[in-house]
């Protein structure tokens, strides 16, 4: 089913006062570096996708308590809809291009996951010294990269610790260990990558927020991956959510104060 014919459940404020949106409007509001629409996307698909993207990005901005500059990572990332993706992959973040791609008929709920990949990649040079250009901050943290001292960075490290390590801080978390087992069973290295673990934990944080938007995030509670135990649960989920809330609340305030 094409995107213009699909409904995505949402429970949140009216960001557009009933007005239509467009990708040009999204680019102006959030200052994305560029937005590219695939050649096979119809006008109706493009217009419907713009409304869904607009609401999702505004909802994410509210959940993170930050300004537009946070969502576009200070204008550094590009959006692609219906182009720039990988065959068979509905959503993809490309570190080499700093671009986030969503396939034309992608399933709902991919934006939060891929946005966190973009953020995790963007923030690495602000958190650590001398890391490779393609590295994610979550990976750098686990690899004991040299940290850049800053109160906000310390709060982000608490997020990584809550996701990747046991509360005592000296053993891999149950989520990490379980993801390793799933990867072994499937003969791959994917779910247990630090950046994937942290992106899935971020999805859980966003889905647990008061605002519900299934185009932004869906599936951390009821999906094949959730049934396989690939999202934080119980006390770990609460701790990771609290760490994310503290970090993004402080980061958002710092960014707003700097405007």
Residue 96 shares a structural domain with residue 40: yes
Examine the fold and report which residue of 72, 87, 116 is the final residue of a domain before the chain moves on: 116
State if pTM tops 0.85. yes
5 part of a folded domain: no
Q: What pLDDT does residue 84 have? A: 58
The verdict on residue 18 lying in a domain is yes
Quick one: 98 exposed, middle or buried, by C-beta within 10 A (0-12, 13-18, 19+)?
A: middle
**Residues 84 and 160 reside in one and the same domain:** no
Nearest-angstrom CA–CA distance, 46 and 44: 5
Element (H, E) at 234: helix 234-258
Query: Under a CB-based contact definition with an 8 Å cutoff, are residues 31 and 68 in contact?
Result: yes
Same domain, 214 and 143: yes
pLDDT of residue 201: 98
In this structure, the answer to whether residues 141 and 240 fall within a common structural domain is yes
Q: Are residues 145 and 212 in the same domain?
A: yes
pLDDT value for 1: 43
As for how many domains the chain has, the answer is 2
Taking the C-alpha atoms of residue 61 and residue 66, their distance in angstroms, rounded to an integer, is 6
Average pLDDT along the chain, 259 residues, taken 10 residues at a time: 65 86 95 94 91 96 97 96 68 92 79 96 97 96 96 98 91 96 96 97 98 94 92 96 98 92
Domain that includes residue 81, residue range: 13-116
Distance of CA 255 to the CA centre of its chain: 18
Residue 33 lies in a domain: yes
**Does some domain include residue 179?**
yes
In this structure, the answer to whether residues 102 and 49 fall within a common structural domain is yes
Based on the domain organization, do 91 and 154 belong to the same domain? no
For 51-86, the DSSP string reads HHHHHHHHHHHHHHT--HHHHTTTTT-EEEESSS--
pLDDT of residue 60: 98
- 82 and 138 in one domain? no
Residue 252 in contact with residue 66, Cβ under 8 Å? yes
């Amino acid at each position: 089913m094409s995107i213009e014919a699909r409904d995505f459940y949402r429970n949140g404020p009216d960001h557009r006062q009933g007005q239509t949106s467009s990708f040009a409007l999204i680019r102006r509001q959030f200052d994305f570096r560029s937005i590219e629409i695939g050649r096979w996307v119809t006008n109706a698909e493009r217009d419907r996708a713009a409304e869904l993207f607009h609401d999702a990005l505004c909802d994410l901005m509210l959940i993170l308590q930050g300004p537009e500059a946070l969502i576009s990572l200070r204008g550094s990332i590009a959006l692609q809809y219906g182009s720039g993706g990988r065959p068979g992959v509905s959503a993809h973040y490309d570190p080499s291009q700093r671009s986030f791609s969503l396939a034309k008929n992608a399933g709902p709920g991919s934006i939060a996951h891929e946005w966190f990949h973009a953020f995790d990649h963007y923030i690495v040079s602000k958190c650590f010294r001398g890391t490779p250009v393609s590295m994610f901050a979550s990976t750098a943290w686990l690899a004991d990269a040299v940290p850049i001292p800053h109160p906000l960075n310390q709060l982000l490290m608490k997020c990584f610790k809550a996701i990747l390590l046991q509360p005592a801080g000296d053993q891999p978390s149950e989520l990490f260990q379980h993801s390793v087992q799933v990867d072994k069973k499937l003969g791959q290295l994917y779910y247990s990558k630090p950046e994937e673990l942290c992106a899935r934990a971020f999805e859980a944080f966003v889905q647990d927020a008061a605002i519900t938007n299934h185009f932004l995030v869906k599936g951390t509670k009821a999906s094949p991956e959730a049934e396989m135990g690939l999202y934080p649960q119980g006390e770990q989920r609460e701790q990771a959510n609290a760490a994310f809330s503290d970090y993004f609340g402080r980061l958002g305030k710092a960014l707003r104060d700097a405007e």
